Chains A and B, each alone.
Chain A
Amino acid sequence: MTASAHGPTASEYVVHHLTHLNTLGGPQKDIVDFSVINLDTLFFSVLLGGLTVYLLYRAARKATSGVPTRFQAAVEILVEMVADQAKGVIHSAESRKFVAPLGLTVFIWIFFMNAMDLVPVDLLPRIWEGIYVAAGGDPHHAYLRVVATADINATLGMSIGVLLICIYYNVKIKGFGGWLHELFTAPFGSHPLLYPVNFLMQIIEFLAKTLSHGLRLFGNMYAGELIFILIALLGGTATVLGFVGHVLAGTAWAIFHILIITLQAFIFMMLTLVYVGQAHEGH
């Protein structure tokens, strides 16, 4: 972008990078608009999700009890890790049959989506711009964001998925009546005066869990992406200082980001397991 003829300002560059490729063809005006869909998020999310299950499926197809290949051993390490964590927080073996595999997939999937942050920040948008222009589009409208987890829709979508699983297990383990009873009597106790307070607390708890679950991942990845964009701006100044700064800061941030993308993927998986585990326990 920085090299284009008209030379966008720093502000234009950042805003362009933070605009989704959606069905509107431009920035979304309303805060909530369910008639719009972010095509870039969906594309990368499905692509990397497909890659995740493809890799796992390949490992599963060739899994033997004999001497494992390195690839198989690597997948097995992940499986063991997730299985151990799941065993620690979910005490129902029946529930683990679904939640543990889900945790594994979520971990690898989110890791891949986060890892898109490490692809040079202008590479894919630039390629997309080329395609878009070749197809007769206006380069100013060639939006593309490659980090699906830096889209709040993706992270909240997944955290709401976890919420639905929690509700499912709440009902399954305690029965619908039992769960309703818990909603009104926990955490403060069974007294008609306390029912509204309890219920309010429970709703706040569910909301807080779900929002913090999704927003934590979104915030980390969004901030990371933004810093990569800012570092790219440094190089975009085309000065010696800017170049050196870009190389140094870009290297340092990318190395640090390896930790963040792994950690955030792990945290999301762990919280998924923990929340589902909590759904199994009565207050």
Chain B
Amino acid sequence: MNLNATLIAQLVVFFILGWFTMKYVWPPIVKALDERSAKIAEGLAAADKAKADLALAEKKAVEELRKAREEAAQLRAAADKQIAKLMEEARAEATRLIAQAREAAEQEARAAVERIKDDLREEVARLAVAGAERILRREIDAKAHAELLANLKQELV
């Protein structure tokens, strides 16, 4: 409990230790701490940025998808329209061809009927003449009565 020169020695040691810490201990540790803080701050900022980028990219993707879908819908509509148009054209063409064919067939049929009618007329005339010939025998001269026969033929139409 007595005071002596230990006090002065302790005082000197106190300052030496303080000086040593100030010179060789404190600065590197504080520097490391500050650097780490900066690093962590950077990392957090980068993470935030990445998150924002991701959100942006997601939004973009949704937008692109929507656009693609719209485009596809448009294409489909155009294709449908084209198909409808082609079908319409084909149908018209077909109708036209059918009509033509029918026309031709009808004409042919008409001609055939006409021909058959003519033939039948000839035949009837011939039969009538033959019948008359048989009935009248020589009284009728085909050549002399040609006009009569022609008239008869006309009446049969």
Binding site for B on A (CB under 8 A): 22, 28, 30-38, 41-42, 45-46, 49, 52-53, 56-57, 59-61, 63-66, 68, 75-76, 79-80, 83, 97-98, 100-102, 104-106, 109, 148, 151-154, 156-158, 160-161, 164, 222
Shortest B43–chain A CB gap in Å is 12
B8 an interface residue at 8 Å Cβ cutoff? yes
| Extra pairs beyond A33-B3, A49-B13, A106-B17 (17, CB < 8 Å) | A34-B5, A42-B6, A49-B16, A53-B25, A57-B20, A57-B24, A59-B29, A61-B28, A65-B38, A76-B32, A76-B33, A79-B29, A102-B18, A105-B21, A153-B4, A157-B10, A160-B11
Which of B4, B13, B21 touches A56 (beta carbons < 8 Å)?
Answer: B21
With A31-B2, A49-B13, A63-B32 in contact, do A156 and B7 touch (Cβ < 8 Å)?
yes
Shortest B37–chain A CB gap in Å is 9
A211 to B4 CA separation, bound complex (whole angstroms): 16
Residues from chain A with a CB closer than 8 A to the CB of B126 are none
Q: Which residue on chain B has the smallest CB distance to residue A33?
A: B4
Interface size of B in residues (CB-CB distance below 8 Å):
34
With A31-B3, A158-B11 in contact, do A53 and B30 touch (Cβ < 8 Å)?
no
Ranked nearest first, the 3 interchain pairs of A and B with the lowest CB-CB distance are: A157-B10, A65-B35, A153-B6
Q: Mark B24-48, 1 if CB is under 8 A from A, else 0.
A: 1111111111011011000000000
Q: Is the CB of A104 within 8 A of B26?
A: yes
Binding site for A on B (CB under 8 A): 1-11, 13-18, 20-22, 24-33, 35-36, 38-39
Q: Is the CB of B33 within 8 A of A79?
A: yes
| Residue of A45, A46, A57, A105 ringed by the most chain B CB atoms within 10 A | A105
Q: Is the CB of B17 within 8 A of A49?
A: yes
Residues from chain A with a CB closer than 8 A to the CB of B2 are 28, 30-33, 36
Which of B1, B22, B38 touches A102 (beta carbons < 8 Å)?
Answer: B22
A202 to B26 CA separation, bound complex (whole angstroms): 33
Q: Is the CB of A158 within 8 A of B10?
A: yes
Q: Which residue on chain A has the smallest CB distance to residue B22?
A: A101
Shortest A106–chain B CB gap in Å is 7
Residues from chain B with a CB closer than 8 A to the CB of A46 are 13
